[in-house]
């Protein structure tokens, strides 16, 4: 019974745009665990026992949180299902304080990337990638999945990204020119692969590759890079773009509403409120002070 309920639950949530890859594995495991104990309904005791099999407290909290959401869904129609208490604490740690890069720091990062590593395609790849992230606000995962046919005369076609959304990201003519210069160097390295960004070995970039190259550039220009500190990450380029976009927001309720809606669409956010979530501590209007404080 629970296994079938899991499949129905996953189908409903996926229809609304959620991928639920990890949650799918966890819920199927929980259903099998419960049914092995002849449980037809969600039981708090069994859920806590199953979640407690994880090694760390944070993993236990995530596993139990997945069951809690599932149980709430089922209990709406059948009160035999119990909603377990969140005894392992919150599922997600608080968001780290964002490091808002200044335009000068972004230029230094791009320059450092263009001089890091061997004199191969690597330098051109990461300087072009960091430039594109800074001027478009793309997620790193979106940029490294770009293919040749995603570059159109109207901009970049970002296909089936987070929440299964697709969108068109316009490019300034200088960004178009810079991307084309990179492609002229890149094409001979991997003629049979149509990913825009590739490594010097001709393979598509991985998130771990980008993070490693970014950390090397950060260290080279002297920005904070220690674990547990407020420090820049590749996602900081998206943060910086969003802050700059928010700083250009015009006055007036209607104008602000239109600006925020356009920015949310441009960034591929599921909610307009997400435009502001990482920047609650950043003074939006005073750009110079906000950069100095970062």
CATH number at residue 126: 1.10.443.10
- Global pTM value: 0.68
For residue 14, give its domain range.
2-75
Range of lowest pLDDT (108-117, 129-138, 158-167, 262-271) = 262-271
Q: Are residues 51 and 148 in the same domain?
A: no
- 22 vs 226 pLDDT, higher one: 22
Flag whether 274 is in a domain: yes
Identify which of 63-77, 96-110, 157-171, 192-206 has the greatest average pLDDT: 63-77
pLDDT of the residue at 229: 64
253 pLDDT tier (thresholds 50, 70, 90): confident
Q: Are residues 24 and 125 in the same domain?
A: no
Q: Are residues 43 and 116 in the same domain?
A: no
Q: Is residue 281 scored above 80 in pLDDT? A: no
Q: Which backbone phi and psi does 250 adopt, to 5 degrees?
A: -75, 165
- Beta strands 155-158 and 167-169: pairing type? antiparallel
Flag whether 59 is in a domain: yes
Q: Are residues 251 and 144 in the same domain?
A: yes
Mean pLDDT of the chain: 86
Number of domains in the chain: 2
């Amino acid at each position: 019974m629970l296994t079938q309920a899991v499949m129905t639950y996953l189908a409903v949530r996926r229809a609304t745009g959620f991928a639920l890859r990890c949650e799918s594995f966890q819920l199927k495991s929980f259903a099998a665990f419960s049914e092995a104990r002849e449980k037809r309904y969600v039981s708090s005791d069994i859920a806590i026992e199953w979640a407690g099999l994880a090694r760390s407290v944070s993993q236990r909290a995530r596993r139990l949180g997945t069951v809690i959401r599932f149980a709430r869904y089922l209990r709406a129609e059948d009160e035999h299902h119990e909603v377990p208490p969140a005894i392992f604490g919150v599922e997600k740690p608080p968001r780290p304080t964002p490091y808002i890069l200044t335009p000068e720091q972004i230029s230094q990062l791009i320059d450092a990337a263009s001089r890091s590593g061997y004199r191969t395609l690597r330098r051109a790849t990461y300087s072009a990638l960091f430039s594109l992230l800074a001027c478009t606000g793309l997620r790193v995962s979106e940029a490294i999945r770009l293919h040749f046919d995603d570059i159109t005369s109207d901009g970049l076609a970002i296909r089936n990204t987070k929440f299964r959304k697709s969108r068109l990201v316009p490019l300034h003519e200088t960004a178009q020119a810079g991307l084309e210069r990179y492609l002229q160097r890149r094409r001979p390295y991997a003629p049979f692969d149509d990913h825009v960004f590739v490594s010097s070995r001709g393979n598509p970039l991985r998130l771990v590759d980008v993070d490693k190259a970014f950390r090397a550039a950060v260290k080279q220009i002297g920005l904070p890079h220690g674990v547990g500190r407020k420090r820049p990450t590749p996602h900081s380029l998206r943060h910086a773009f969003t802050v700059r976009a928010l700083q250009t927001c015009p006055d007036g309720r209607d104008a602000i509403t239109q600006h925020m809606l356009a920015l949310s669409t441009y960034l591929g956010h599921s909610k307009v409120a997400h435009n502001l979530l990482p920047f609650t501590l950043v003074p939006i209007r005073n750009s110079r002070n906000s950069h100095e404080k970062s």
